[in-house]
Amino acid sequence: NAGVTQTPKFRVLKTGQSMTLLCAQDMNHEYMYWYRQDPGMGLRLIHYSVGEGTTAKGEVPDGYNVSRLKKQNFLLGLESAAPSQTSVYFCASSSRQGHLWEQYFGPGTRLTVT
């Protein structure tokens, strides 16, 4: 039982490049989330999904897109990276059966945009 895994762990992009971050969970959770963590800002929700095939915007969605084609996977895309997107990105999941707020987090992806 790996929990929530994220790929890659580190990435450096040049401004304007694109990339996709992959999140996978093996807990059969319905809900999945993408957050970014910046110093002093805590974790801010980018996008989330309440089930396969559904996505919704969070607090800071601009510049990001997501897809949830399979229940266990949640992809975060950056179409044209900007230095302001330099951050640590966390994926999380939670079960509809339990408390939605008891979220299980992956180890994070550190992204640097130069």
Residues of this chain that interact with another protein (CB under 8 A) are 4, 33, 40-45, 48, 58, 90, 92, 99-108
Q: Rank residues 19 and 43 by Cβ distance to another protein and give the closer one.
A: 43
| Minimum distance, C-beta of residue 11 to another protein, in the bound complex (Å) | 15
- Cα(32)–Cα(21) distance, integer angstroms: 14
Report the nearest approach of another protein to the CB of residue 16 (Å). Answer: 29
CA distance 112 to 110: 7
Cα 98 from Cα 84, distance rounded (Å): 35
| Closest CB to another protein among residues 14, 99 | 99
Query: Closest separation between CB of residue 102 and another protein, Å?
Result: 5
Q: Which amino acid is residue 4, in one-letter code? A: V
* Min separation Cβ 6 and another protein, Å: 8
Beta-bridged to residue 65, according to DSSP, are 77
63, 67, 65: which is closest to 16 by C-alpha? 63
